[in-house]
Amino acid sequence: MALLEVSHLDVRFALRQGEVRALRDINFTLERGERLGIVGESGAGKSVAAFSLLNLIAKPGYIAGGSIKFEGQTLNTMSERGLRKVRGNRISMIFQDPMMTLNPVLSIGEQMVECLKAHRRISTKEARAISLDKLRQVQIPSPETRLDQYPHELSGGMRQRIIIAIALLLDPDIIIADEPTTALDVTIQAEIMALLLELCEQHNVGLILITHDLGVVSQVTQRMLVMYAGRVIEQGLTREIINDPQHPYTQGLINALPQMATPGEKLNQIRGSMPSLSNLPSGCAFHPRCDFINRADGQPRPACTQQVPEFVESGNCRVACHMVAEMLEDRRLKEETR
């Protein structure tokens, strides 16, 4: 049994204009010590996915179906009390913007100690000792003085180190990191990412890394999901997806990386933009932006605009694309006739 098993996760937002389906049929597993990347454009549902794992989505959002199993316990039906024992303890989170994440009126020490005390019966003195130890692990300069400082006295990079230290406080099984470096200076991004990777490896912590940086995903994770409009459209081994993306959207994302462009030319981009979740295109949600909607004979593929694509297995990956399905089918037929 996998450490974390998400199956058919369905998250909706009950808005005044009607229900919006933010996540549809998300399936993945995470093994102990494994690192999983979730990538996609803004609005694809990556953060909602991260928050729904710990049942932290704010109203009017709610988990409408599916299950999230952690060590066999179903988190999405668990009581708030039971969830609290998991949050920050077995599964901890790193938020996107370290400038907003720490409470401005509480000292770093208070914010670390309260987390330890919520999950363990220990004295403040012991809690401070553990906190100090974790601050050393995240290589913050002069850790002793940090405990009594307030967030505004620290830089963004230092704050994110502290948040990593808080994430590691209770030696969790999984860390969910929601774009942990997006809000940071480019020079610090690599440092923080390397630190996070190193600590996860060292403590054998599973990592769910949410990002739109394909470079980071390829360096850090073993498996990945590509999300589009609330749906996973391609998932599998990171190496395979990066080297040989199947879905036109994933191909577009990789093509859009600066290093894929010819010097002096415009950067590649995927035309159009992510559709609104409340007004999704028919069929495959990506079809209005897709370059492969036409078949080999030049006629548009009717399925693309009419039918939501099912997953097909392609090597070690699963892809939800009619074009890929058709290609695989042709190949299979050819092999049969041979």
Partner 1 sequence: MIAFLIKRLMHAVLVMFVISVLAFAIQDNLGDPVQQMVGQSVPESEREAIRERLGLNDSFLVQYVRFAKNAVQGDFGDSYFYREPALEVIARHLPATLELVFAATLIIVIFSVPIGVYSAIKPRSPLSRLFMGASIIGISIPVFLTAILLIQIFSIGITITLFPESTSWGAWLNGLLSTEGNMPSFGRGYNLVHVVGHWDTNLATWNGLQHLVLPAVSLASIMLPLFIRLIRAEMMEVLQSEYVKYARAKGISMRRVYFVHALKNTMLPVITVGGVQIGTMVAYTILTETVFQWPGMGLMFLDAINRADIPLIVTYLMIVGVIFVVTNTIVDLIYGFVNPTVKLTGKPA
CB of 95 to partner 1, least distance (A): 6
User: Restricting to residues 111-150, which ones interact with partner 1 according to CB under 8 A?
Assistant: 114-115, 118-119, 150
Q: Would you say 86 or 277 has its CB closer to partner 1?
A: 86
Q: Which two tokens stand for residue 156?
A: 């963004």
CB of 53 to partner 1, least distance (A): 10
CB of 193 to partner 1, least distance (A): 20
User: Restricting to residues 150-169, which ones interact with partner 1 according to CB under 8 A?
Assistant: 150, 152-153, 166
- Does 86 help bind partner 1 (rule: CB under 8 A)? yes
Instruction: Tell how far CA 181 is from the center of its chain.
Output: 13
Query: Binders of partner 1: how many residues, by CB under 8 A?
Result: 31
- Binding string, residues 238-257; x marks residues near partner 1 by CB under 8 A: --------------------
- Does 38 help bind partner 1 (rule: CB under 8 A)? no
Cis peptide, bond prior to residue 60, ω within 30 of zero: yes
The sign one gets for the Cα dihedral 207, 21, 11, 302 is negative
- Does 58 help bind partner 1 (rule: CB under 8 A)? yes
CB of 100 to partner 1, least distance (A): 4
List the one residue from 84, 128, 203, 239 that touches partner 1 (CB under 8 A): 84
Closest CA to 222 of 47, 50, 93, 37: 37
The sign one gets for the Cα dihedral 76, 85, 204, 32 is negative
Which residue's entry shows tokens 């901890």? 92
Q: Which two tokens stand for residue 140?
A: 């913050």
- Does 104 help bind partner 1 (rule: CB under 8 A)? yes
Which residue's entry shows tokens 């991004």? 189
Calpha distance 29→27 (Å, rounded): 7
Q: Would you say 87 or 146 has its CB closer to partner 1?
A: 87
Which residue's entry shows tokens 């070690």? 316
CB of 41 to partner 1, least distance (A): 21
Q: Would you say 41 or 114 has its CB closer to partner 1?
A: 114
- Binding string, residues 181-220; x marks residues near partner 1 by CB under 8 A: ----------------------------------------
Q: Quick check: helix, strand or coil at residue 209?
A: strand
Phi, psi of 235, rounded to the nearest 5 degrees? -150, 150
Which residue's entry shows tokens 């109203």? 59
CB of 85 to partner 1, least distance (A): 7
Tally of CB atoms within 10 A around 297: 5
Residue type, 76: N
- Does 291 help bind partner 1 (rule: CB under 8 A)? no
CB of 97 to partner 1, least distance (A): 7
List the one residue from 48, 102, 214, 293 that touches partner 1 (CB under 8 A): 102
CB of 127 to partner 1, least distance (A): 13
User: Are the CB atoms for 66 and 53 separated by under 8 Å?
Assistant: no
CB of 102 to partner 1, least distance (A): 6
Closest CA to 131 of 141, 146, 142: 146
Closest CA to 226 of 257, 207, 247: 247
- Does 336 help bind partner 1 (rule: CB under 8 A)? no
Instruction: Tell how far CA 288 is from the center of its chain.
Output: 25
List residues near partner 1 by CB under 8 A.
54, 56, 58, 80, 83-89, 92-93, 95, 97, 100-107, 114-115, 118-119, 150, 152-153, 166
